[in-house]
Structure 1
Amino acid sequence: MLIHFSQGGRIDMEEKVVTSRPKGGVVRLRFDRLPSLLVKEFGTERKAGWWVLSGDDPGPLAKLGPDPYSEEFAEFMLHGSDTGRLHPLLRDQRRVAGVGRGYTDDILHRARLSPFRSLSSLSDDERARLLATIRGVLGEGLEEERRRRVGGLPAKVGDHWIVHKRSGTPCPVCGADLRRVSFESHEITYCPSCQTGGKILADRRMSRLLK
């Protein structure tokens, strides 16, 4: 069985037998002697899913990129020549598995890199710092999930993110206001002081609204 959480998917452990389907419910797995597992998806996108596959069928995993902790990914980050922007690169599941939007914002903020820079533009030190930051932020996120109480969910999904979706609030490092770049399906949060040398990145969607 393969479960894809997408952006807002979470697992809740149910000690008591529940038959109703909650809002955002994707699938409930029941076991004879263990608590049930309920997969839920928060938000409105509804992209989470589940598959039952035969042993030799990779299903959606066939197009999945390398694990962030793998040597393959390290080689790409340290020596790759990709010219696309870092933010969509890290979100692309074909390039690296499991990062996503929220962690990408936090990773680039901690690494002090503009989301609009490219991998090919980074120095050797910046590449090494970015790779270490990716692994560090993801590791901290995993530990945060492990600390959740059995049967409990955070008050808000992603409440442990540092900058993601916190535009307009002070940067936790320098105190400057966090800014955002809005797109049709998502937004990027960044700190101009820490990441772009004070430059405000163009927000084309907001510019169109002001016309």
Structure 2
Amino acid sequence: MPELPEVNALVEFLDQEIAGAVVAGVELASFAVLKTFDPPVTSLSGLTVSGVSRHGKFIDIDVDGIHVVVHLAKAGWLRWTDHLPDTRLKLGASNIAARVRLDRGDGPTVGFDVTEAGTRKGLAMYVVRDPVEVPGIAALGPDPLGPGFELRPLLARRMQVKRLLRDQKIVAGVGNAYSDEILHAARLSPFAIAESLDDAEIVRLEAAVQEILRSAVEEARGKPAAELKDDKRTRMRVHGRAGDTCPVCGDTVLEVVYADSSLQYCPTCQTGGKPLKDRATSKFLK
């Protein structure tokens, strides 16, 4: 799933490529992906892109005051091309959900496809006059890289710290992968209860949030969209690395599997050497 660092890189790339370009058209290959009807997508044609920004994991393309907002969900992605084919998209013909054509006035039509792999569809596109009309944006918690962000007040909840970090209404932009990486850097169990963390643990967690996310943003910056997924995987220390050796202590990275996801952690670094079996049988370890 694209998270804050990858979405931030996509936003910076798009802003550089399309700010000032004129929308030549928006084509839908899946009507289900569009969650709004007013303004219609046809109203975008002929308007100029003012800029591109990010709200948590949402991409916001400002087109003369009308906002095209995209949430890539679990398996969505953005595929850029410097020369789009002239043929129009056909409904349901591929993993392409939508295509945005742009005229920069310097050659062939450029643009991007919004794609989604797999059968479980969660990709969403909105065309709105104000980004806060998108329910997910209206409900977002503070951005961890935003000015004045404070994690400590957000921890006064009786919930697992892993779940807290992933809850977009509490902290915007962090998902499964970076929450694993943050907790590993902070030397905390994913099952630790947020409100029970002591002062030293909170200090480590606050530092880890900033260190992991800022480092990932810098690593992703400037890379082509096609390289961001693989680049993200190579930077993970524990996430997606069950069975590998922890780069910090040399222990084996372990995994907890859920119905539709999983988490990875190092028992030596994070749980005092004790394995976490599953939610039903594991103790909430600090």
**What is the TM-score normalised by the length of structure 1?**
0.84
User: Amino acid of the residue matched to residue 180 of structure 2?
Assistant: D
Equivalent residues, number: 205
Greater CA drift, 129-138 or 31-40: 31-40
Q: How far, CA to CA, are the matches of 1:95 and 1:25 in structure 2?
A: 32
- Which of structures 1 and 2 has the bigger CA Rg? 2
Distance across 2 between alignment mates of 1:112 and 1:78: 20
Alignment of 1:85-96 (within 5 A): 85-96=160-171
The aligned residue for residue 29 of structure 1 is 100
- In the alignment, the residues of structure 2 paired with residue 3 and residue 25 of structure 1 have an alpha-carbon distance, to the nearest angstrom, of 14
CA RMSD of aligned residues (A): 2.7
State the one-letter code of the partner of 2:205.
L
Partners of 1:138 and 1:198 lie apart in 2 by 26
Label 1:152 to 1:124 Cα distance change in 2 as closer, same or farther (>3 A): same
Q: Structure 2: 5+ residue runs without aligned partners?
A: 1-67
* 8 Å CA contact retained: 1:107, 1:134: yes
- Residue 143 of structure 2 corresponds to residue 143 of structure 1: no
Stretch deviating more after TM superposition (84-93 or 116-125)? 116-125
**What does 1:177-196 correspond to in 2, within 5 Å?**
177-196=252-271
Tell me the TM-score normalised to structure 2 length: 0.63
2:196 is the counterpart of 1:121 = yes
- Output one character per residue of 1:56-81: Cα deviation in whole Å (capped at 9) or x when no partner: 7521211111111346751x525742
**Contact 1:73–1:96 under 8 Å retained in 2:** no
**1:7 matched to which residue of 2?**
74
Equivalences for residues 72-91 of structure 1 within 5 A: 73-74=149-150, 76-78=151-153, 80-91=155-166
Q: Deviations over 1:175-197 (max 9, x none)?
A: 11100011001101000000001
C-alpha separation in 2, matches of 1:135 and 1:196: 22
Counting aligned pairs with the same residue, the percent is 37
CA contact (8 A) 2:189 2:270 kept: yes
Contact 1:85 1:117 in 2 (8 A): yes
Structure 2 partner of 1:152: 226
Partner of 1:67: 143
Unpaired runs of at least 5, structure 1: none
Cα pair 2:160 2:194 within 8 Å, conserved: yes
Q: Which residue of 1 aligns with 2:128?
A: 53
Task: Tell me which of 174, 198, 202 is aligned to 2:273.
Answer: 198
The separation in 1 between residues aligned to 2:124 and 2:231, in whole angstroms, is: 18
Asked if 2 retains the 8 angstrom alpha-carbon contact of 1:7 and 1:100, the reply is no
